[in-house]
């Protein structure tokens, strides 16, 4: 496997970090709550078979203050479409988790030529009053990791400050990631994606962790019904909302099996 490479692209005048590792057909990753502040085991498992590219979403770690350029959902989707182009991902496969899943789904729906195959893990974008998504922004301090992961220590590892970093600036970067997610999806995560799911013609894999405390199980079926016959579903046993942190190898195996 090749070494992790880092470069910078510019979207809306704001620098965005792009990580890349591995060889083969490109597969992009739009992470969920908290973004991707560091390279982690799931990405390594993917990079064993694919060239994995992780562009930083606006406002998420590595994405600077790009979220402040996005006022509408259209702004977000165009920024993410541009990111795919600039990061060398256009025409490749795309994996979206949680918050990132909402964006990945819309990019696939609106710019079909940019996405070959789409894997969504507990993606946001829909909202059902009768079966609401848990409100990740209305939790007591310290409660979020337990909602996001069966193994909350995995989320703590993801967001732990690297050596040599300024603690204040690291904390701000983590809060900014939460803010960017809120800017995109406040208050429910409803981007009215239901109106566009039928436009997704690519093959789609819909994954969820069986222990997801954020996104009810019914949402996987809602996505499947909205997309149609090109969608298939699978469940990762014992994993939570950020399933790729709880079960990196299992999620990577399921996705690689689908992409190949």
Query: Helix or strand or coil: residue 215?
Result: coil
Residues 45-84, interacting with other proteins (CB under 8 A): 67-68, 71
Nearer to other proteins, 3 or 141 (CB): 141
Note whether 153 binds other proteins by CB under 8 A. Answer: no
The residue within the footprint of other proteins, chosen from 3, 113, 129, 138 (CB under 8 A), is 138
Note whether 142 binds other proteins by CB under 8 A. Answer: yes
Note whether 186 binds other proteins by CB under 8 A. Answer: yes
Nearer to other proteins, 109 or 242 (CB): 242
Q: Which two tokens stand for residue 183?
A: 């800017």
CA contacts within 13 A on the Cβ side of 225: 8
Note whether 13 binds other proteins by CB under 8 A. Answer: no
Residues 157-176, interacting with other proteins (CB under 8 A): 167-168, 171-172, 175-176
The residue within the footprint of other proteins, chosen from 44, 110, 111, 139 (CB under 8 A), is 139
CA contacts within 13 A on the Cβ side of 174: 17
Phi, psi of 205 (to 5 degrees): -110, 125
- Write the DSSP assignment of 38-99 as a string of letters: S--HHHHHHHTTSEEEEEPPTTSTTSTTGGGG--SHHHHHHHHHHHHHHTT-TTEEEEEEHH
| Contact residues for other proteins, defined by CB under 8 A | 67-68, 71, 137-143, 167-168, 171-172, 175-176, 178-183, 186-187
């Amino acid at each position: 496997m090749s070494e992790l490479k880092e470069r910078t692209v510019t979207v809306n005048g704001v620098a965005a970090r792009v990580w890349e590792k591995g060889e083969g057909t490109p597969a992009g990753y739009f992470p969920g709550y908290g973004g991707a502040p560091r390279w982690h085991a799931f990405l390594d498992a993917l990079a064993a078979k694919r060239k994995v590219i992780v562009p930083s979403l606006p406002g998420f770690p590595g994405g600077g203050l790009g979220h402040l350029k996005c006022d509408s959902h259209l702004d977000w989707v165009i920024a993410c479409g541009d990111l795919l182009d600039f990061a060398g991902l256009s025409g490749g496969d795309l994996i979206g988790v949680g918050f990132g899943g909402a964006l990945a789904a819309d990019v696939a729906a609106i710019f079909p030529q940019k996405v070959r195959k789409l894997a969504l893990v507990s993606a946001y974008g829909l909202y059902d009053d009768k079966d609401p998504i848990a409100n990740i922004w209305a939790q007591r301090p310290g409660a979020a990791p337990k909602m996001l992961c069966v193994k909350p220590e995995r989320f703590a590892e993801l967001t732990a400050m690297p050596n040599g970093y300024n603690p204040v600036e690291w904390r701000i970067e983590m809060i900014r990631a939460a803010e960017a997610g809120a800017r995109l999806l406040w208050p429910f995560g409803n981007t009215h994606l239901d109106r566009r799911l039928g436009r997704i013609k690519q093959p789609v894999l819909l994954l969820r962790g069986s222990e997801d405390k954020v996104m009810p199980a019914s949402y996987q079926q809602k996505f499947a019904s909205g997309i149609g016959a090109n969608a298939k579903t699978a469940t990762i046993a014992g994993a939570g909302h950020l399933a790729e942190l709880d079960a990196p190898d299992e999620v990577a195996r399921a996705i690689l099996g689908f992409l190949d």
